[in-house]
Amino acid sequence: MVSTHEHYIGDREAEALAEAYVPRRLNRRALLEGGVVAGAGLAGSLSVAPLAARAADAPAAEITVDQARTAPIPIAIPSFGGSVGQNITQVLTNDLSGTGLFKVLPGSSMSGTPDFAPYKAMGAHAAVTGTASGSGTIRLEFRLWDVLAGKQIQGTAYTTSEANWRRIAHIIGDVIYQRMLGEKGYFDTRIGFISRSGSVHQPRMRLAVMDQDGANCRILSSSQTKLPAFSPVRDQIAFLSYNSTVPRIYVFDLATGRQHIISDFNGVPLGPHYSPDGNTLLVPVARGSGSELYSVNIASGAKRQLTSSGGAINVSPSFSPDGSQIVFNSDRGGAPELYIMSAGGGNARRLSYGSGHYGDSVWSPRGDLIGFTRISGGAFSLGVMNPDGTGERIMTQGYTVESPSFCPNGRVLAFCRSASGGAAYGIRTIDITGFHERGIPTPEGGSSPTWSPLNV
């Protein structure tokens, strides 16, 4: 079916359709063009205590994200002392500098009120002071200062197991991001993905999860899995499994390592996508020459068909943040385009009108943008547009760039990039402005990234 059309279908669906309809020897670009694991919680307990001048007492952020993009915020960050403190400083520095919104400067280690004059001389707008002490159980005191005003913005002490040092660094980074920019950060998050090894034509594809910076990577499955989706409210990942002769949708609970099947379908289920409340999955189901979209209640397994388009391919659905609309990809008009319909189905209207064929679609958690992939003139592109279809712009291109997934605050997209010949699959991130593209290190190749909500 797919091999007879010169249409572009995104990564989140193409591999599943390939399994269902075409020989394994057909590479994926040709198709596109024609274990128990511990949960995300901190090990042991975490005690958090304010250190005077709590966040509620601090002034609102005066620097916007757009201002920071034009002129990154100079912030002085010292070592927190000792090996653990130095490790925390390094992760914190990487988090902030990696956004392109902060310029990290060296700072002096101290725990009291700093001398602001040297920081002003080096051009710093903000400074961090703090110390890490203890072994086994550590106490980390952290203060954020407005250098120009000479005032404390935030002061917090954390007491927890030493094993949690990396996550504490991410939590501090999120605090700084929010206090300086006025919106929540995204450092204390994870990315689910497919870990790829083996040959190009017969890859081994296993479900995996890692911190957003690539640390703590864990393989979650031994069987062939594809197209994962992180729950926006729970510590769960839904995915497509080929563990048996019939492809099935599973939900994996990261806290317990347990997994369960989500209903059975009269056809081949493809990549799932969660509703904003985490109670429903959108599932494309392929049968005959096309595929239709279904909503599935996770608790009961009850299904409802949302599209009925007479043999067209309907894939890559994504809810709006308020759950009232769905954006999806369909070739019902003759070529793959993006459409929007109500969450209950029906009244679909075309959204995309650019050149080429459209593939993956994903709605930003902020509601202001829709991410998409597109192929035109033999080049794959990753872009964003407004929910009414206007303002389309391309952020990056490549041999293949696909599978976009927004971070929780909607400022950064994770995606998959592969080199010529379908080799060297890797996961990368990019700011929605199209700047600061970065690779995330993984032990094996990686594809189909899906970003978690903030850890709880």
Question: Which spans in 22-61 are helix H?
Answer: 28-33
Q: What is the mean pLDDT of residues 175-181?
A: 95
Over residues 201-208, mean pLDDT: 90
Q: How many domains does the chain have?
A: 2
Of residues 376 and 24, the one with the higher pLDDT is 376
Question: Is there a single domain that holds both residue 222 and residue 365?
Answer: yes
Q: How many whole angstroms separate alpha carbon 134 and alpha carbon 141? A: 12
pLDDT at 42: 62
Q: Measured between alpha carbons, how far is 348 from 35 in angstroms, rounded to an integer?
A: 41
Which pTM does this prediction carry?
0.88
User: Is the domain of 130 the same as that of 258?
Assistant: no
**Shared domain check, 204 and 175:** no
Contact 159, 171 (CB under 8 A): no
What is the per-residue pLDDT across 320-343, written as a single tens digit (0 to 9) for each? 999 999 999 999 999 999 999 999
Task: Tell me if 39 is assigned to some domain.
Answer: no
Q: Are residues 22 and 90 in the same domain?
A: no
Whether residues 416 and 323 share a domain: the answer is yes
**Can you give the pLDDT at residue 35?**
36
Regarding whether 271 and 257 lie in a shared domain, the answer is yes
Same domain, 176 and 316: no
Q: Are residues 153 and 172 in the same domain?
A: yes
Strand partners, 349: 340
Does the pLDDT of residue 99 top 70, yes or no? yes
Flag whether pLDDT at 17 surpasses 60.
no
Q: For the residues 206-228, what does the mean pLDDT come to? A: 94
Distance of CA 276 to the CA centre of its chain: 15
Which sign, positive or negative, has the C-alpha torsion 396, 104, 79, 168? Answer: negative
Task: Please tell me whether residue 290 adopts helix, strand or coil conformation.
Answer: strand
Report the alpha-carbon distance of residue 326 to residue 339 in Å, rounded.
8
One-letter amino acid of 445: G
pLDDT digits (tens, 9 = 90+) for 291-305: 999 999 999 999 999
- Rounded CA separation 271/18 (Å): 13
**Residue 196 falls inside a structural domain:** yes
414 vs 108, more confident: 414
Handedness of CA 171, 71, 103, 56 (dihedral sign): negative
**Does residue 405 surpass a pLDDT of 80?**
yes
Residue 40 counted as domain residue: no
Contact 357, 379 (CB under 8 A): no
**Same domain flag for 211 and 335:** yes
User: 277, 323 in Cβ contact below 8 A?
Assistant: yes
In a domain, 253, yes or no: yes
Give the pLDDT confidence of 273-296 residue by residue, as tens digits. 999 999 999 999 998 889 999 999
Helix/strand/coil (H/E/C) assignment for every residue in 154-190: EEEEEEEEHHHHHHHHHHHHHHHHHHHHCCCCCCCCE
The CATH number of the domain where 148 resides is what?
Answer: 3.40.50.10070
CA–CA dist 65, 367 (Å, integer): 17
Is pLDDT above 90 for 57?
Answer: no
Whether 170 maps to a domain, the answer reads yes
How, if at all, do strands 236-241 and 225-230 pair? antiparallel
Average pLDDT over residues 403-430: 90
- What range does the domain containing 360 cover? 2-34+187-451
- Residue after which a domain boundary falls, among 148, 181, 214: 181
Q: What is the model's pLDDT at position 47? A: 77
Provide the pLDDT confidence category of residue 406 given band limits of 50, 70 and 90.
very high
Choosing from 125, 147, 181, the residue where a domain stops is 181
- Clarify whether residues 425 and 322 are in a common domain: yes
Contacts of 155 (CB under 8 A, 6+ apart): 50, 51, 52, 53, 54, 141, 142, 143, 144
Instruction: Provide the percentage of residues in the chain whose pLDDT is more than 90.
Output: 68
41 occurs within a structural domain:
no
Could you say which of 181, 205, 228 is where a domain stops? 181
- Tell me which DSSP letter residue 150 carries: T
Q: Are residues 133 and 205 in the same domain?
A: no
> What pLDDT does residue 164 have?
92
Same-domain check for residues 380 and 315: yes
On the question of pLDDT at 225 being above 50, the answer is: yes
Greater pLDDT, 456 or 306: 306
Q: Is residue 290 part of a domain?
A: yes
Tokens of 300: 């009961």
